Chains A and B, each alone.
Chain A
Amino acid sequence: MEFFFQQLINGLSLGALYALIAVGYTVVYGIVQLINFAHGEIFMVGAFGAFATWVLLGSPTTWSLAAALFVLLPAMILGGVVVSVAVALLTERLAYRPLRTAPRLAPLISAIGVSVFLQEFIRLFFGYIPGMPDSKRAIPFPSVEGISGASFQIGQVTVQMPAVFTIVALVVCTLFLWFYVNRTKTGRAMIATSQDPDTARLMGINVDRVIMAAFAVGAALAAVAGVAHGLRYGNIDFRMGFLSGLKAFTAAVLGGIGNINGAVVGGLVLGVVESLATSFIPGQFGSTAWKDVWAFALLILVLVFRPQGLLGAKVVDRA
């Protein structure tokens, strides 16, 4: 039983990570019906931004607990968010906006191009920025006092502090997002645009700005996820966005793409399924080597049996 709860906790924290990224897919899709392939790379860039912020602060390793938690960590998150949002907005402006009236295939291909470009750009050029290490292989992520490597026990169950950080981050971000979408003018404009962009435009909503807001919100959450990823695994590399992005997309589909709550639920479910699958599938296929396969198999199953996702409404074609 302890083992089950242990895996559940692991799964929830992993799921929270997916959920933070998944929100970016779902918000953008909800508004422009574009699968932003490069979103995984936005997440990766956010982690590198946080790392760079740490270097700019003088690569501190011995700050006190309070300084680490209340100065260093927020600064790193902020740095990551700034970089992610900037990259996301640039991408939107240069690679997606000119293609808004093109056939659906065009922005998808453009997005793949951006994704490959960002990965390679970080791989080749991050090391050229003064003070930054060579990034052709994984870079150790700075440890933050009180989180990295720390853990506590509830009975027999060990809870890692990075897991707590991820879950807390998810809760805070979700609350912030709920407030933003439901209580601010831009948020309401987002809802209106997602339902009917043409009417929204007629009602005086600046659709370009709403789309930019959607990209920015998604990127900010992805950057937080990037920090959480770094704290959890202890290192970051230019490839990390690919798999996490794919998983997060799976989560978004699982919850019902376009639905913010769905992305959160989908992420958590996916994390738990992945974590439990490796412990409870018997025999060779239960080894961790297969966990990604099970996650993607879940994606395919969802698309077959419930393409609208867990929380999505059924969409009907209009003639």
Chain B
Amino acid sequence: MMTIGSESRQRFELPARIVGGVAAVVAAASVLLSWSYDPAALDDMSFWGAPSPLQFHYLALGALAAILYLLPIALRPRNGSWTNWVAWNTAARFASFTLLGFPVIAVIAIALEAGGLINVDPGAWLALGAGVVATLAGVLLPTSPEPAMHRIKTHPVIQILAIAAGMGALLFAAVFALGLQDAGAFLLYAGFAAGLVLTLLRLGVFGWLAVCAAANKRVLVLAAFFVAFAFPFTQNGSEANMSIATQVLIFGATALGLNIVVGLVGLLDLGYIAFLGAGAFTSAVLSGSAFATINWTPPFWLTVLISGTVASLLGLLIGSPTLRVSGDYLAIVTLAFGEIFRITMNNLDGSDGPNVTNGSDGIPGIPDLNFFGFDFGATHVIFGVTIGRFANYFWLMLLILALIIVVFTNLNRSRIGRGWVAIREDELAAEAMGVNTFALKLLAFATGAFLAGVAGAVKAHHDVSVTPDQYVFLESAFLLAAVVLGGMGTVMGVLIGATILKLLPEKLRFFSDYRLLLFGLLLVFMMRFRPEGIIADERRQLEFHATDEELAEEVEEELVTYHAHYNPDPKGQK
């Protein structure tokens, strides 16, 4: 590791800016050259003068890096102005890392996919060289102070436009990523996205966006759902991607339910998948399938309620004896319960027990939903765009996810949520302050189970069949991994975690056999290095870093500024 004194960094600043800026421009220009001789690699980067979509991304990144290097020369950042609240240098450094990383991945992918480095064309080598130079320049720049873009005062209209632009970018990125067929191209894009996010984070853009979002919560929520709602229109009837997207939503909804139990109350539930299964089986048995064992088919809204209720009754059944004893036991009892569920579903086949579930064959042929004549199995054409079967389920699941988010956040921001935090922090003190800890834990358990049951009811129809082997322990561990990766106690984090964990194996087929191995490692590493997850819930972060005084001060300062900004009346509600 090179160490450069701050003085010499000052001296090198201007040259570093110029060199870095030029290198970034060169890197951006490299997309005009061919990167790969073989058009099959990385979704075709073999054109001269006509960049591929992925190369356009690289072009944009190069332009961003050039701006980060060169603009400060003109602006001359001063204390107290917005120019000094932007962390130009750190961001430029991260953009340069990405400028370097992108061609590195590209070269490796081209060599692997097309067979040998011989297939790498001059464009990629030029980008690689420019990336190296840019990275060196970035390392030479003095480090910026912590970004403070959240202090920038922004006109409300611009704030709303920023939210819209952010959401639009998100939609575009999702559509683009799902459209990539080649595994190497997907990895390359994932690397690009991670680099861009890190760059913007270091620049301080997210701090500013957070302020915009906090000031326009309604707009944000509406925009998010509008984007999600609009997603099927971008797919032009492609069923494969819509199926993945729907699975992501089901998985995310279930993970949010688990998040109530794990993230908010701090109880470890390792049999959570059983509640999803209970909902799915209930819904299947009542679906009117030729294999259903009960000849009664209630309307779907009632089925959903029954599925949720059955799941939450199971939750109460398992929770009421075990929630009284120490939390450690709960983990293993729920694990045992998950096994009991699976075995029972296997055994209720008519020979080892009454026939309810057809045993290990499960219940196939579950008919599609039909709301007032709207057949979920049929394709519809709306605004000239074909909307297929999975898109219908996608929208239904989106609605359910919205409800789950409402339940999650409203419970969390009430006296019940405060009680949960108190239990997590010090159960005995909570009890001694009059909090009914047992009832609150049971409530969390039953609510989580209910939500999973509801998700399961939709899942049964989406999947067409329900079998016991879909609901094994590893699936519970997988859900837990989503919660831990994303960030315990947060909504956004868990949805991101669920998306990552569901999307990666779908897009990177070669890695699917190693999926569980890597998730096991992921759990260990997350606990070791970032237990609060990608998106940290502030309080959770403090709990996991009990000895970090600086962090405590920082979080508190944030709390106070946010209060001062948005609750000028000190008596206002929290």
Contacts and interface: CB of A to CB of B under 8 A. Distances in A.
Interface of A: 33, 35, 37, 94-95, 98-99, 101-110, 112-121, 124, 242-243, 246, 249-250, 253, 284-285, 287, 289-290, 292-293, 296-297, 299-300, 303-304, 307, 317, 319
B339 A246 contact: yes
Given A114-B520, A289-B352, 18 more contacts: A99-B528, A101-B547, A107-B527, A108-B328, A115-B520, A117-B520, A117-B521, A243-B339, A246-B339, A253-B332, A284-B353, A284-B354, A285-B353, A287-B352, A289-B343, A292-B340, A296-B339, A319-B432
Nearest to B330: A303
Contacts of A107: 527
A95 B526 CA distance: 11
13 contacts: A98-B528, A103-B266, A109-B484, A109-B523, A109-B526, A112-B270, A242-B473, A285-B352, A299-B332, A303-B321, A304-B322, A307-B325, A319-B428
B356 to A, nearest CB: 12
Interface residues of B, number: 54
Given A108-B331, A289-B352, A292-B343, A120 B520 contact: yes
B161 interface: no
B514 A124 contact: yes
B527 A104 contact: no
Given A35-B331, A300-B333, A106 B531 contact: yes
Nearest to A116: B520
B329 A303 contact: yes
B521 A113 contact: yes
A281 B327 CA distance: 32
A98 B530 CA distance: 12
Closest 8 CB pairs of A and B: A113-B523, A117-B520, A116-B520, A120-B517, A296-B336, A113-B524, A304-B321, A110-B527
Contacts of A303: 321-322, 325, 329, 333
B321 A124 contact: no
B523 A120 contact: no
Contacts of A246: 332, 335-336, 339
Contact of A110 (B321, B347, B524): B524
Contacts of B527: 95, 99, 102, 106-107, 109-110, 113
A249 B480 CA distance: 21
Contacts of B262: 105
B337 interface: yes
Contacts of A120: 514, 516-517, 520
A109 B343 contact: no
A113 B525 CA distance: 9
Instruction: Determine the main DSSP class of B at the interface with A.
Output: helix
B544 interface: yes
A161 to B, nearest CB: 30
A292 B332 contact: no
Contact of A121 (B327, B428, B517): B517
Contacts of B321: 300, 303-304
Contacts of B322: 300, 303-304
Which of B354, B432, B519, B523: most chain A Cβ within 10 A? B523
Contacts, number: 144
B447 interface: no
B512 to A, nearest CB: 12
Given A103-B543, A290-B347, A300-B336, A112 B328 contact: no
A289 B351 CA distance: 10
Given A116-B520, A246-B332, A289-B346, A105 B266 contact: yes
A112 B480 contact: yes
A106 B473 CA distance: 19
A280 B332 CA distance: 27
B297 interface: no
Given A35-B331, A246-B332, A290-B352, A114 B339 contact: no
A124 B353 contact: no
Contact of B268 (A33, A109, A250, A299): A109
B472 to A, nearest CB: 10
A319 B432 CA distance: 10
Interface string B296-324: 00000000000000000000001001101
Contacts of A98: 528
A250 B340 CA distance: 14
A104 B328 contact: yes
Given A121-B517, A290-B347, A253 B473 contact: no
Given A110-B523, A124-B513, A293 B328 contact: no
A105 B268 contact: yes
Interface string B191-227: 0000000000000000000000000000000000000
A107 B357 CA distance: 37
Contacts of A113: 519-524, 527
B177 to A, nearest CB: 26
A109 B482 CA distance: 12
Nearest to B317: A300
B544 A106 contact: yes
A304 B263 CA distance: 25
B338 to A, nearest CB: 10
A253 B432 CA distance: 28
Contacts of A296: 336-337, 339-340
A108 B484 CA distance: 12
B546 interface: yes
B474 interface: yes
Contacts of B480: 109, 112
A289 B342 CA distance: 11
A51 B455 CA distance: 44
Interface string B348-360: 0001111000000
Interface string B448-486: 000000000000000000000000011001001000100
A293 B344 contact: yes
Contact of B351 (A119, A284, A307): A284
Contact of B327 (A104, A250, A307): A104
Given A103-B543, A290-B352, A117 B329 contact: no
A105 B328 CA distance: 8
A258 B318 CA distance: 24
Nearest to A304: B321
A290 B523 CA distance: 32
A104 B544 CA distance: 10
A289 B480 CA distance: 28
A114 B527 CA distance: 11
A250 B336 contact: yes
Which of A33, A107, A289, A317: most chain B Cβ within 10 A? A289
A155 B447 CA distance: 57
A118 B484 CA distance: 19
Contacts of B544: 102-103, 106
A1 to B, nearest CB: 27
Contacts of A253: 329, 332
Contact of A249 (B332, B428, B477, B546): B332
A85 to B, nearest CB: 20
Given A116-B519, A284-B352, A319-B428, A290 B343 contact: yes
Given A35-B331, A112-B480, A120-B517, A292 B339 contact: yes
Nearest to A117: B520
B287 to A, nearest CB: 26
